Amino acid sequence: MDRTTQLTARRTELTGPVRTSGSPLAPGAGEIVRSAPDTSEPDVYDPAAYPAASVRTAGPVRTAGPARSAASLHLRAARVLADNWTGASTVPSRGLYPHQWSWDSAFISIGLRHLSPLRAQTELETLLGAQWGDGRIPHIVFNPSVPLDAYFPSPDFWRSSTAGRAAGAPRTVQTSGIVQPPVHALAAWLVHLSDPGLSRSRGFLSRVYPHLAAWHRYLLHRRDLGGGGLVSVVHPWEQGMDNSPTWDEPLSRVTPAPARSFRRADLDHGAAEDRPTDLDYGRYVRLATDYRDGEYADGRGEFAVEDPAFNALLIASEHALARIACELGAAGTARHTRAERLTAALVDRLWDPAEGMFFCRDVRTGDLVPERSVAGLIPLLLPALPRDIAAALVRTACGPHFGLGDTTRLVPSYDLTGEAFDPHRYWRGPAWFNTNWLLERGLRLHGERGRADALRDAALRTADTSGFAEYVDPYTGEACGALGFSWTAALALDLLHEPHEPHELDEPHGHGVSPMGIGTFRHE
């Protein structure tokens, strides 16, 4: 099946290899194969297939307007995912983001598993089908049926099949050359847990495991640019929080590309005052151009930053990959050990005890970047985080810089007291649903059940009243960016269901299990 058919055929399930002809697999990776449609499964987009009684919630959904049932919210979230489904993957939004994004698909699959475990598996399989030979999972997989001018940077900018040839880029699938946070193994494990029988019958984990292992090898071996054991990002887009003030200082060394050399398609869909400035965008383009012209070789660019959220998600996914290995009959001990070693490196290199949070480290200068971003709270997700550090992170989240449970509805993306704070500008203050989902899980993991429940209710209420917005004003919940955003809908679905219960495969030795199913509930 060619790529165009794969991405545009509605209601078509996997029936052949995802890997396109001539595309090398990542080292040690197995084929991702497709199975015939499961006709016994209800239509994921049919409201009649999901009566109110089927929605298991941990409590009522309280909205700011007229009361709406959890079942109603469930069905409207499902409709968002229906509208953004292409046949083999889900776009973040039809207008602003018309292709497949890497960490979006991971979060989307976590929510989609509550509607259709088969579709959730397909979401991840489609993404992994575009993996490069060196193991990297590109941050965008382009839909060839979308016009080039619908999104920038477009496939003709990245030139993946030519500029990425030495790194093993697919020959017939167009992708970007940079990556995004490694949420994928965590997503794959949670998707498996939603229907282990289906997963085993399709060989889902046995097929995705080699791809995920190659992805982690790439990050750990090619991206330890600081030499301290942590992964560096080489572009702000890789960390996912594209326009954070955290990047201002490292980006100041980068000469921006001339404004006349590119056209910003994002301004066709959003207000300029809510988007990155032209100066910042010029620097993004310059970094991406230099990376491309260097054939996507790592370690040569002016920008290299160790980010706490990126590394925390890698650690969480290492724990998940250990669970997957155990499910497949192998020992996961080495991966758990690696995850705990990475946790120690994270604390050693990025923790600031005086400030009570994690900071980015600029690898080129060796200095911590003194900007308080929500990225510095995300390590709360980790099961082996020392008790005193977890407690300090909770205090910081609830304090004046982020206002959790006090001044804000949802945790903002940036310090409320910072000079660069803007409640509406992209990642410079607005609240995002994926980061709040991660924090809700982290709070629950470290015994902060009351705060986790309150954040869960606030996230559901805000997703509901904002029309599943891309991001919101952290004070008012006012919608910003695209509406009907896929990961907002998907993570609302996940929050609607009861917190993840311990599964017998999570912890075979009887220790406590994190609510995310990623590791032992243990404090050092």
The tokens describing 213, both together, are 């292992």
SS3 460: helix
Any catalytic annotation for residue 242? Answer: yes
Q: Rounded CA gap, 27 and 7, in Å?
A: 25
- pLDDT tens-place string over residues 65-114: 433 578 899 999 999 999 999 999 999 999 889 999 999 999 999 999 99
> How far from 164 is each of 294, 295, 296, 301, 413, CA to CA, in Å?
9, 6, 6, 16, 33
Q: How far apart are CA 109 and CA 262, in angstroms?
A: 33
Q: Which two tokens stand for residue 285?
A: 């383009």
With both helix axes pointing from N to C terminus, report the angle between 102-112 and 486-496 in degrees, rounded to the nearest 10.
Answer: 30
One DSSP character per residue, 339-362 reads HHHHHHHHHHHHEETTTTEE-EEE
pLDDT tens string for the chain (524 positions)?
322 222 223 222 332 323 333 334 444 445 554 333 343 444 444 434 433 334 444 444 444 443 357 889 999 999 999 999 999 999 999 988 999 999 999 999 999 999 999 999 999 999 999 999 999 999 999 999 999 988 889 999 999 999 999 999 999 899 999 999 999 999 999 999 999 999 999 999 999 999 999 999 999 999 999 999 999 999 999 999 988 999 999 999 999 977 676 665 554 555 656 666 778 888 999 999 999 999 999 999 999 999 999 999 999 999 999 999 999 999 989 999 999 999 999 999 999 999 999 999 999 999 999 999 999 999 999 999 999 999 999 999 999 999 999 999 999 999 999 999 999 988 999 999 999 999 999 999 999 999 999 999 999 999 999 999 999 999 999 999 999 999 999 999 999 986 544 332 333 223 333 445 544 323 22
Quick: pLDDT tens for 153-194: 999 999 999 999 999 999 989 999 999 999 999 999 999 999
Residue 68: the pLDDT is: 56
Catalytic residue among 470, 494, 506, 507: 470
**What is the rounded end-to-end Cα distance, in angstroms, of the chain?**
51
**pLDDT recorded at residue 270:** 58
Contact residues for 365 (Cβ-Cβ < 8 A; gap 6+): none
**Interatomic CA distance for residues 134 and 138, integer angstroms:** 11
d(CA 363, CA 166): 25
Judge contact between 488 and 468, C-beta under 8 A.
yes
Percent helix, strand, coil in the chain (nearest 5)?
45, 5, 50
Omega cis (within 30) before 153: yes
**Is the dihedral angle over the CA atoms 236, 241, 242, 247 positive or is it negative?**
negative
Element (H, E) at 337: helix 333-350
User: Which is the catalytic residue, given 38, 41, 242, 295?
Assistant: 242
Q: How far is CA 439 from the centre of its chain?
A: 13
Q: Please, what's the b/e burial string for 240-272 (b: 16 or more CB within 10 A of its CB; e: otherwise)? A: bbbbbbbbbbbbeebebbeeeebeebbeebbee
Token pair, residue 427, equals 């990642």
Sequence-ordered strand ranges (E) for 120-159: 140-141
Give the H/E segment covering residue 306: strand 305-306
Q: How far is CA 486 from CA 82, 124, 194, 220, 489, in A?
A: 9, 15, 19, 30, 5
Among candidate residues 250, 277, 251, the one with its CA nearest the CA of residue 264: 277
